[in-house]
Structure 1
Amino acid sequence: MRQIGVLLSKSYKLLSIAAILEVFETVNKFYEADGLPLPFRINILTSEETLATQKEAFGYALQSIKEAEIMEIILIPAFTSDNMAETLQANYACIPHLIKQYNSGACVGTFCTGAFLLGASGLLNGKIATTHVDASNGFAQAFPSVKLKADKTVTQDGRLYTSGGATSSFHLLLHLVHEYCGKEMAIKIAKVFAIDMDRDKQSYFSTFQPSKDHNDDLVASAQAKIESNYQDAATIEELIKDIPSSRRNIVRRFKQITGITPIEYLQQTRIEAAKKLLTKTGQQMSEIIFNSGYSDPKAFRKVFKKSVGMTPSQYREKFQVR
């Protein structure tokens, strides 16, 4: 019987833990119905601090992650908080025990923004990972040594697993069921939970949400110029030429604050504008290309597909409000 450890962290997202429990409990029920030994034992692990005031959750007795036996895999749910610095600090006590579990042979999997806790452990350094698309810039800034694949639904690098936002959790769970119980059981679970087994990208769910919670006036000025004039400027140099600083200094500070270069910021601003026009207006494609700041249709389609993961026409068909 494989030992599954679900971390009851502080600021955990209920939906995330519910998905984990539902999937593994359902697998166990299938095995039980066939008269077979259960493949998984589910353990809810938490910090000593939480254990001092809470003894059970979701029908399971809580266990101290400090004292727990070595798991087959430990799963870290998503967080509800948007303040990752505070969230990581609140959960810091769990990190040494996650490292101990991993060094003793356990696998570790994260869901959505749960990747931030694994990133803070250092175990992801030099390895690939993903997280919620809208948290990817913050993750990249916080953990530059991690090879972030922001468009991926699921990643695996050795014994470390990560998944993207929200429903991507089910794709990681399906991946683990396939790995531990075989393809036939994975297909059964996919049918029960109506999981699209072939989806491997999450980029088309993203929304460009640049960081503005900073005190750098130079960067704020560059952001404002890009957002106000993205339709008209041919180059980034035109947009930042009046900012009293060298281009090199602007680019350095801009990337340090936002996680991307001014050119990338301009591109993402234009693509986000195009996405809104595609889904909320009836404009012709030529109008959308022009109104989002592009003059070359071929270049627009190439950039759009690279950024979003599908063509403009496919995006409109999938998301247009009719």
Structure 2
Amino acid sequence: MNQGFQILTSTAPISVAIINLPNALVSSILGIQDVFHIANTFCIADKSRLFSVQIVQEKESIVNFQSNVPLKTTSLDLKQNFDVIIIPPIISDVRDIKVSKTLNTWLNLMYAKGSYICSVCVGTYVLASVGLLDNIKATTHWSIEQNILDTFPLVLLDIDRIVIEDKNIITAGGISAYLDLSLYLIRKYFSILVAYECANFLVVDAGRTSQKHYKNLASLSTELEPELKELLAWIKININQVLTLAILAKQMHVSERTLMRIFKKKIGILPTKYLQNIRVQMAKELLINSQKSIEQITFNIGYEDIPSFRRLFKKKTGLSPGEYRNIFMVKF
């Protein structure tokens, strides 16, 4: 939650528009509707002021992600007024997301009218595309972090947070963060008590603030040359060894300076940070897929200083190794 969080008070219904777009996730669209309807029915005592939710789309026919579920929708209209507008999760390569001039104009007009403009997951890419995230703090799904940074350098991206509000723009992280966004809005328009009552009804955690521990630290968003792919594969095989910049450069038959330049250009980070990321990611997998002790795992991934690794793990994931295992290891 942002430090400037304020509950909005009014007696008017809260009008919410969920924008249906190509490859939008229908389960999330309906899920957002359901959360607000549950809040209206079971959690909000004063029935004179409730959420009023519409699904709005630009075109008459929209093909959603892997779904033929019919949605009751209305069309975009420049005369419309909404308190809240939500771009839902979109399951698509961001390079295939196209924002029309009509939607661009509509979103910017609604923002100028005073609407809260929200996005979930890859929906952040839509807001960035229409210029609404220039010099705005925002979050998104961890898998498109580098793409956002490269394509929209004016976005003040903080990938670790689940929900961020900045200047009437509210962004939420991964796909399931539509729940966090919905609860955030319930808290914003009513109270923290109503939001927690709704969270308890849904049996979800209302206190999530970070998505650091969900991020795949080994994920790469760009195509790599065969030589670099070979090096990364070699690193995984030899991760339990001492791996210095000089050793990596020799393995790829380039100078250390050239290796740093290649990593920065193709992966977005320097080799030392990549090694940290891959080791933490491998530790995460071992923590939930094996019974090895934290000490054994530390040695298996090439660390000898256990306290140092614990600090690195906590920095990268927001959790200690023990906490991570307790939360994510499947227990039967």
Q: TM-score, normalised by structure 1?
A: 0.87
Q: What SS does the aligned partner of 1:204 have?
A: helix
Q: Which residue of 2 aligns with 1:275?
A: 284
Q: TM-score, normalised by structure 2?
A: 0.84
1:18 has 2:27 as partner: no
Q: Structure 1 99/223 Cα, relative in aligned 2: closer, same or farther at 3 Å?
A: farther
Q: Which residue of 1 aligns with 2:132?
A: 123
Any gaps of 5 or more consecutive residues in structure 1?
52-56
Q: Which residue of 2 aligns with 1:80?
A: 91
Greater relative contact order structure (CA < 8 Å, 6+ sep): 2
| Deviation (angstroms), 1:274 | 0.9
1:41 has 2:59 as partner: no
For residues 158 and 309 of structure 2, the distance between their equivalents in structure 1, rounded to whole angstroms, comes to: 23
Q: Structure 1 78/295 Cα, relative in aligned 2: closer, same or farther at 3 Å?
A: same
Contact preservation (8 Å) 2:55, 2:74? yes
Contact preservation (8 Å) 1:45, 1:68? no
Contact preservation (8 Å) 1:225, 1:240? no
Q: Structure 1 116/92 Cα, relative in aligned 2: closer, same or farther at 3 Å?
A: farther
1:305 has 2:314 as partner: yes
| Deviation (angstroms), 1:25 | 2.0
The answer to which of 227-236 and 176-185 deviates more is 227-236
Query: Which residue, out of 11, 18, 23, partners 1:6?
Result: 18
Q: Which residue of 2 aligns with 1:223?
A: 232
Q: Which residue of 2 aligns with 1:139?
A: 148
Query: Which residue, out of 62, 75, 82, partners 1:71?
Result: 82
Q: Which residue of 2 aligns with 1:54?
A: none
| Deviation (angstroms), 1:218 | 5.0
Query: Which residue, out of 41, 52, 74, partners 1:62?
Result: 74
For residues 150 and 237 of structure 1, the distance between their equivalents in structure 2, rounded to whole angstroms, comes to: 31
Q: Structure 1 24/321 Cα, relative in aligned 2: closer, same or farther at 3 Å?
A: closer
Question: Which deviations, in whole Å up to 9, do the C-alpha atoms of 1:136-164 show, x marking residues without a partner?
Answer: 33333333322222221111112111112
For residues 35 and 23 of structure 2, the distance between their equivalents in structure 1, rounded to whole angstroms, comes to: 22
1:290 has 2:302 as partner: no
Question: Which deviations, in whole Å up to 9, do the C-alpha atoms of 1:74-123 show, x marking residues without a partner?
Answer: 10000122x1110x226675223212221222211111121111122222
Q: Which has the higher helix share?
A: 1
For residues 295 and 34 of structure 1, the distance between their equivalents in structure 2, rounded to whole angstroms, comes to: 57
For residues 268 and 316 of structure 2, the distance between their equivalents in structure 1, rounded to whole angstroms, comes to: 16
Q: What SS does the aligned partner of 1:174 have?
A: helix
For residues 235 and 261 of structure 2, the distance between their equivalents in structure 1, rounded to whole angstroms, comes to: 16
Query: Which residue, out of 204, 213, 223, partners 1:204?
Result: 213
Q: Which residue of 2 aligns with 1:243?
A: 252
Q: Pairwise mapping of residues 47-196 of structure 1 onto structure 2 (< 5 A)?
A: 47-48=58-59, 50=61, 60-64=72-76, 66-81=77-92, 83-86=93-96, 88-89=97-98, 93-196=102-205
The answer to which of 153-162 and 66-75 deviates more is 66-75
Contact preservation (8 Å) 2:303, 2:309? yes
| Deviation (angstroms), 1:210 | 2.6
Q: Which residue of 1 aligns with 2:6?
A: none
| Deviation (angstroms), 1:295 | 1.5
| Deviation (angstroms), 1:10 | 0.8
Q: Structure 1 271/123 Cα, relative in aligned 2: closer, same or farther at 3 Å?
A: same
Q: What SS does the aligned partner of 1:145 have?
A: coil
| Deviation (angstroms), 1:252 | 3.1
Q: What SS does the aligned partner of 2:203 have?
A: coil
Corresponding pairs, count: 313
Q: Structure 1 262/125 Cα, relative in aligned 2: closer, same or farther at 3 Å?
A: farther
Percent identity, please.
27
| Deviation (angstroms), 1:184 | 3.2
Any gaps of 5 or more consecutive residues in structure 2?
1-12, 63-68
For residues 113 and 288 of structure 2, the distance between their equivalents in structure 1, rounded to whole angstroms, comes to: 50
Q: Which residue identity lines up with residue 81 of structure 2 in the other structure?
A: I
For residues 219 and 82 of structure 2, the distance between their equivalents in structure 1, rounded to whole angstroms, comes to: 38
Extract structure 1 runs of 4+ deviating beyond 4 A.
90-93
